[in-house]
Amino acid sequence: MASVDFARLSSAEERRRSERRHARLMFAVAYPVCLAIAVATRLVPRSRRRSNQGFDGHHSVFREARTAASMCIPFAFR
């Protein structure tokens, strides 16, 4: 997946499709990182845990990783 210059794209539909592709790619990169952080957070005793946004320990590690990855993706498109 090559990076596309938005100025050269001819239609708005192509730009939207390209942005969706970039968002999915960024999520695919961010999710494993967030999953590793969620698992590591669970391994630390509760008394030593910091409060991290998205990693609260109330949901499954997969759900926490998906939430954390979804929270960081929109900042790339500002």
Each residue's pLDDT tens digit, 2-34: 555 555 656 888 888 888 888 899 999 999 999
pLDDT at 68 over 70: yes
Q: Give the integer Cα–Cα distance in Å for 54 and 59.
A: 10
How many domains is the chain partitioned into structurally? 1
Question: Quick check: is 24 in a domain?
Answer: no
Question: Quick check: is 68 in a domain?
Answer: yes
Give the residue numbers spanning the domain of 65.
Answer: 34-45+60-78
State the pTM of this model. Answer: 0.67
pLDDT at 77 over 80: no
Long-range pairs for 13-18: beta carbons < 8 A, 24 or more residues apart: none
Question: Quick check: is 38 in a domain?
Answer: yes
DSSP letter at 54 equals: T
Question: Quick check: is 39 in a domain?
Answer: yes
Classify the C-alpha dihedral 45-71-76-62 as positive or negative: positive
Question: Quick check: is 7 in a domain?
Answer: no
Query: 40: which residues sit within 8 A by CB, 6+ positions away?
Result: none
Question: Quick check: is 76 in a domain?
Answer: yes
